[in-house]
Amino acid sequence: MTKIEQDKEGQTNLGRRRFLTAATSVVGVVAVGAIGATLVDSLEPTAADAAAASVVVDIEPIEPGMQLTIPWQKKPVIIVNRTPAMLATLKKLESDGVLKDPLSHVPQQPPYCENTYRSRKPEWLIMVRICTHLCCIPHYRPKKASVTASWLGGFHCPCHGSMYDLSGRVMKGSPAPHNMAVPEYQFSGDGKTVTITDMFPKAHLC
Amino acid sequence: MSKFGDWINKRFPAREMMREHMTEYYAAKNFNILYYTGSLLLLMIVLQFISGFFLMAHYVPTSQDAFNSVQGIMYDTRWGWLIRYMHVDGVSLIFILLYLHMGRGLLYGSYRNPRELLWIIGYVIYIMMMGEAFFGYILPFGNLSYWAGEVITSIIHAVPIIGPPLTTLARGGAGVGTATLERFLALHAVLWFMIIAALIVLHILALHQVGSNNPDGIEIKNLKGPDGVPVDGIPFHPYYTVKDTFGVAIFLTIFAAIIFYAPTMHGVFLERTTFFRANPMVGLPDVTPPWYLAPYYAMLRAVPNKYFGIALMMLAIVLPFFLPWLDRNPVRSSRYRPVYRWMIYIMGATFFMLAYIGELPPLPKYFFLERMGAAVYIGFYLLLPVISSFEPTRTPPTRVRS
């Protein structure tokens, strides 16, 4: 078979050849893409992992002013039963204008927590206890003047000194950029337990 | 294109390799359906590598968790069932392709001078594949895995002097357990696979050194045109790449149909006893190997003596290495050797009969068939030097028939 014959044959069937090449390529790419996407999808967490990822916490034993920190999806989540006096400090700090994002406009929490208390029920704070600066775990410092002379109670990060109020709202002058993240959660009907389900997708941890 | 291509080619012989192995590698124009098997085997090895990678991402090699992790792959991992069945059914398809590939070599005399080394490398790949399949077989740690591991490692035990320490080395302890799974995973996914991959490269390099044989068994290099190109040869690319792409499409359709509609092939590709947890206290109703190893197992059972049975099996495995020198006839292809062709048919049919018997319970009533089968299989190799010396042959054509 000589080169010339090949060319002649190629020219007579060029259109059909191009169509067949294109059709085979398209089908091949679709098949490879489908199996490739499937294989990569297999590396995603399983439904069982996702089910194990939500945690039910019995909050009845947590007395006013007390906190409980539990592991949730390998992250510490703090549950604080805030007293009326503690809640009053939130309003005061808001009016003093010392908070970076007092109205929680940055979506660090689900929409139902976009309020002063950053919670579904004012007294219950449920929050991922991770500083938005560099992922340290802030100390819980509820007592007045326990960090600075004007301290009203809140969270103080031991790494780089970021300060948060008792709603986890970051104070001006802190290296941390955002308020601490609030996960998605819901209370049971009788209010005795809280189920922490998912991370709020838009929230930025650190 | 060409500027980038020039940059690359100054530093890497891409064009040269493309020419040498694709566009100016000439293969006979009369390849038939059996010539799809080589490229399909290459495809299947790549697919096994990919599916194996994704399985290993979820697998736990401990005697406590291995079985659960595989069940997790089947029921929890997204598409895990698809990936596992790809891997499991892939093994059986590889062995089907291997037997067709080797059968083709027998039929057309592709093992003959100058292709002895090509045949030997290929046969080593086949034996390595048996090991690879065996290691993989143990990993899911179902009850069949456990007992297969016990039985096969105890075959090593029969080797004089070094046997017992070798068995302990293979198991990593007194019995098959976590240490066995860990080292079998390392062997399966790293060492054995790397050796097989390297041997495949050698196999292809050896093939391209001597050129592909063809169904007529005649050298196309002996008749070249004025341009130095064999007159019966066509460039591998684009002719055979396109043909192989067609073969791939048909083959993958069959592969997908098996995965979706008969993933265990009614207990042949994946035995029922693999679905029960490994239990050293509960034996199996009958321990039979997967179908592709069953012929050798049937020969092992044909002799009711541990050492002679193993020796017979080893002989059956080793004999094909000598095939290039056992065949004395000047004609290669069985197309022109009716006696040799019927010998291959009988030997092939016997081999698959042994595979069938190897899956049956080990009862004395099968002794006759097992012994007949072993005699025919081994007889093929031992009688070949004699028969091939005086068998009647027809004269092969000078040009390939198309």
**Residues of A whose CB is below 8 A from B78:** 41-42, 44, 46
Angle separating helix axes B178-186 and B116-138, nearest 10 degrees: 150
Residue A108 domain-assigned (yes or no): yes
User: Is the model's pLDDT at B4 over the cut of 90?
Assistant: yes
- On whether residue A36 sits in a domain, the answer given is yes
CA A97 to chain centre: 26
**Per-residue pLDDT band at B98 (split at 50, 70, 90):** very high
* Residues A58 and A34 occupy one common structural domain: no
- Tell me the percentage of chain A whose pLDDT exceeds 70: 94
Bridge partners for A99 per DSSP = A171
Note whether A38 contacts B82, CB cutoff 8 Å. Answer: yes
Cβ contact B134:B148 at 8 Å: yes
Q: How many residues does chain A have?
A: 206
Catalytic site includes residue A160: yes
Enumerate the residues of chain A whose CB falls inside 8 A of the CB of residue B72. 46, 48
Yes or no, beta carbons of A38 and B76 under 8 Å apart: no
Looking at residue A5, what is its pLDDT? 46
Report pLDDT digits (tens) over B366-383: 999 999 999 999 999 999
CA B211/CA B86 separation, integer angstroms:
33
C-alpha B50, offset from chain centre: 18
Greater model confidence, B361 or B224: B224
A42·B245 Cβ contact <8 A: no
**How many CB atoms sit inside 10 A of residue A41's CB?**
11
Query: Percentage of chain B surpassing pLDDT 70?
Result: 100
- Residue in A1, A24, A42 closest to B78 by CB: A42
**pLDDT single digits (tens) A133-145:** 999 999 999 998 8
A32-75 confidence digits (pLDDT tens):
999 999 999 999 888 877 777 889 999 999 999 999 999 998 89
Tell me the pLDDT tens digit for each residue of B164-193.
888 989 999 888 999 999 999 999 999 999
pLDDT of B120-166, one tens digit each?
999 999 999 999 999 999 999 999 999 999 888 888 888 888 888 88
d(CA B136, CA B149): 10
CA distance B385 to B329: 8
Please tell me the distance from the alpha carbon of residue A107 to that of residue A205, in angstroms, as a whole number.
11
Tokens for B352, please give them: 């698959």
User: Apex CA B4: angle with CA B1 and CA B7, to 5°?
Assistant: 145
> Are residues A138 and A120 part of one domain?
yes
pLDDT of residue A4: 44
* Percent of chain B residues past pLDDT 90, beyond the cut: 84
The full DSSP string for B12-26 is: S-HHHHHIIIIIT-E
Fill in the amino acid letter for A139.
H
For the domain spanning B27-287, the CATH number is: 1.20.810.10
Which residues on B lie below 8 Å from A1 (Cβ)?
Answer: 234
Domain boundaries, chain B: 27-287, 293-397
The total number of structural domains in chain A stands at 2
By Cβ distance, the residue of B54, B245, B252 closest to A42 is B54
pLDDT band at B63 (very low <50, low <70, confident <90, very high): very high
Average pLDDT value for chain B: 94
Per-residue pLDDT at A12: 64
Question: Do A124 and A181 sit in the same domain of this protein?
Answer: yes
pLDDT of residue A8: 57
Give the burial string for A182-193 (b: 16+ CB within 10 Å, else e). Answer: bbbbeeeeeeee
Contact A47 B76 (CB under 8 A): yes
**pLDDT over 90 (residue B355):** yes
Q: Is residue A132 part of a domain?
A: yes
Q: What is the DSSP string of B52-119?
A: HHHHHTT---STTTHHHHHHHHHHTSTTHHHHHHHHHHHHHHHHHHHHHHHHHHHHTTTTSTT-HHHH
CATH code, domain carrying A74: 2.102.10.10
Quick check: B46 contacting A, CB < 8 Å?
A: no
Per-residue pLDDT band for A9 (boundaries 50, 70, 90) equals low
pLDDT at B295 > cutoff 60? yes
Looking at the fold, whether A92 and A166 belong to one and the same domain comes out as yes
In a domain, A206, yes or no: no
Comparing CA positions, the residue from B95, B28, B123 lying closest to residue B324 is B123
Q: What is the span of the domain harbouring residue A31?
A: 3-41
In a domain? residue A88: yes
Are residue A162 and residue A125 in the same domain, yes or no? yes
Comparing CB atoms, the residue among B83, B234, B252 nearest residue A42 is B83
Residue B37 has pLDDT above 90, yes or no: yes
* Residues in chain B closer than 8 A to A48 (CB atoms): 72, 76
User: What does the pLDDT read at residue A1?
Assistant: 43
Residue where the block lists tokens 């198991």: B171
Which two structure tokens, joined as six digits, stand for A120?
């579904």
For testing contact with chain A, the best of B49, B75, B77, B255 (most A CBs within 10 A): B77
Tokens of B56: 């290993």
A15 and A72 share a domain?
Answer: no
Q: Are B182 and B172 in contact (CB under 8 A)?
A: yes
Q: Do A41 and B77 touch (CB under 8 A)?
A: no
Neighbours of A108 (CB within 10 A): 27
A204 lies in some domain: no
Q: Where residue A11 falls among pLDDT bands split at 50, 70, 90?
A: low
| Contact call for A38 and B79, based on CB within 8 A | yes
The chain A residue lying nearest B29, using CA atoms, is A1
pLDDT higher than threshold 90 for residue B287: no
Q: Of the residues A105, A156, A160, A204, which is catalytic?
A: A160
- Is there a contact between A43 and B252 if contact means CB atoms under 8 Å apart? no
Mean pLDDT of B351-373: 92
In a domain, A201, yes or no: no
